[in-house]
Structure 1
Amino acid sequence: MNNLFTALIAKRIVATVSALLVIAIACAAGIWQLSRAEDKIVLAAHLLARQQMPILSVNSSSLTLEDASERRMIARGQYIPEAAIWLDNRPRPMPPAGSTASQSGFFLMMPLRLEGRNEVLWVNRGWAPRNSADRELLPPVKTPANVVNIEGIVFAHPGKVYALGESKPPIDTGKPRIEQNFDLVGEGRLRAWSQSPFILREIDTGIDDGLLREWAPLTTGVDRHYAYAFQWFALAVAGFLFWLITGLRQYRRQDVNGDQE
């Protein structure tokens, strides 16, 4: 046993330390991936519980983000299409059945002037595909000119993507606004109007306006985290087996040489 211990560890200090580092890093990464998956599951359960609460009406009273966040809400008002913002580099929330490729497109953010209130509510109306040949050629979308009733889920923002730099060029009112991210507070200052401190992500009610509203559930990606965790743990096991097998081979070679002597 002492000879085996010596062959595996004492005479292989560098290999042993290296193996321990690989195993520790891989196990830590695997545990982190499992925690990410658990966080998403808890967040999805929290969101589902919030959505099952009574539906709010933004026309009835002023609401804070804390009161309305992740709650279902109805709104009645009239769209202001000339103030629309197209958020670029947004993948389709739910790829078509049988497809794994990510399709790039836009989220259409449009303010809704609330009926009976001197207030504007920004609405994420949905997703539309991008024209790959001409970035500024926007997809055809129908916007009702009359007062509409919409329903959706309240969020603080429509999601953010990585963007280089913070400075923005002056707004050209003669061209559609294509932005990387949406700044709710900044839009309020720019327009000098009173607006709700949150956005409403419209849900799919069967309206054919050229936009898709098949939103991905918050648990999307949980399977990927589990797969990554499996890969990290497999790497830890592989590192241990490599260290053990190479050590046993070295021990056997030494044993054979010792017998021959």
Structure 2
Amino acid sequence: MKWLRRPSWFALLLTAVSALLFIRLGVWQLHRADEKEAILRRYATAETAAPRDFAALASNPPMDAFARVDVRGEYLAGRLYLLDNPKHDQRGGVEVYAPFRPHNGDRLLLVDLGFLPGNGTDQAPQLPAMAIGEQSLHGLYVPPPGVGFEIGGNALARQTQWPKTTVYLDLPQVAADLGTALYPHVLSLDAEPSSIYVREHTIDFSAMPPARHRAYAFQWFTFAVAVVVILLVLHRRRPNRPDKS
């Protein structure tokens, strides 16, 4: 190519490494978008699935699906955990979890009662009275919410009053606080029109939905093209100026 000067080996290596890195990042973003869409589809499928007996999959939940289950038992009286970081609306609020003892179970099941909207102040929302006696629960048996960054250590161990508040939910810490083992997943209850709790069977991907991953992928692929174009522009052979003499 007469219009292009031969680039140095360093320029070629730098361009190749940069382009491959950007392409790899773009492909990773596409994979993340596909993974999140698959999770959302599994949630949608579980919404209409027939309930299964909790005991059949309590200790070994399916890895590629979210199971709808029925379980009978009793709540532990006076034991509630308030997850203080979800924001379903502008007023804030808490996600409320309650330990539940299934019949014939060998450990406790943590139940997600739902989101309780705040009142626009720093005060905790007013909690409704817990159901007492034998209960029949229905919902999705799902992984617990992600822990994220554990700033400040285990806040549950330092609290003596119930309900206890935390900014993340770590099942081993909850189990240690209760002094007994927990099942590996939590039960996210089905919605009830008469309940004050807001219950949604979905994962909150609002901060990074699949479409945003694809937008970032396009951005990384654009960077890969850009570094190649920059190499060509910088090594373009300029035409010789005519001699004025």
Equivalent pair of 1:124/1:158 in contact (CA under 8 Å): no
CA distance in 1, matches of 2:117, 2:26: 36
Equivalent runs, 1:195-214 vs 2, <5 Å: 196-209=183-196, 211-214=197-200
SS in 1 for 2:161: coil
Aligned position for 1:88:
84
Structure 1 residue 30 corresponds to structure 2 residue 18 = no
Aligned position for 1:122:
110
Which deviates more from structure 2 when the two are superposed, residues 231-240 or residues 216-225? 216-225
SS in 1 for 2:147: coil
Structure 1 residue 233 corresponds to structure 2 residue 221 = yes
Q: 1:222 to 1:65 in 2, by over 3 A?
A: farther
CA distance in 1, matches of 2:60, 2:48: 16
SS in 2 for 1:139: coil
What CA RMSD, in Å, does the superposition of the two structures yield over aligned residues?
3.4
Q: 1:27 to 1:198 in 2, by over 3 A?
A: closer
Structure 1: where are the runs of 5+ without partners?
96-101
Question: Match for 2:195: what amino acid?
Answer: D
Q: CA deviation at 1:30?
A: 0.4
Structure 2: where are the runs of 5+ without partners?
none
Query: How many pairs were matched up?
Result: 239
Aligned position for 1:173:
160
Residue of 125, 133, 149 corresponding to 1:162: 149
* Identity over aligned pairs, percent: 23
Equivalent pair of 1:56/1:68 in contact (CA under 8 Å): no
TM-score (norm 2): 0.76
CA distance in 2, matches of 1:51, 1:145: 24
Aligned position for 1:98:
none
Aligned position for 1:256:
240
Q: 1:47 to 1:18 in 2, by over 3 A?
A: same
CA distance in 1, matches of 2:36, 2:97: 26
Equivalent pair of 2:26/2:216 in contact (CA under 8 Å): yes
Q: CA deviation at 1:218?
A: 7.7
CA distance in 1, matches of 2:43, 2:60: 13
Higher helix share: 1
Q: 1:159 to 1:143 in 2, by over 3 A?
A: farther
CA distance in 2, matches of 1:242, 1:55: 58
TM-score (norm 1): 0.72
Structure 1 residue 64 corresponds to structure 2 residue 58 = yes
SS in 2 for 1:82: coil
CA distance in 1, matches of 2:126, 2:187: 22
SS in 1 for 2:225: helix
Question: Match for 1:41: what amino acid?
Answer: E
SS in 2 for 1:161: coil
CA distance in 2, matches of 1:117, 1:67: 15
CA distance in 2, matches of 1:169, 1:216: 26
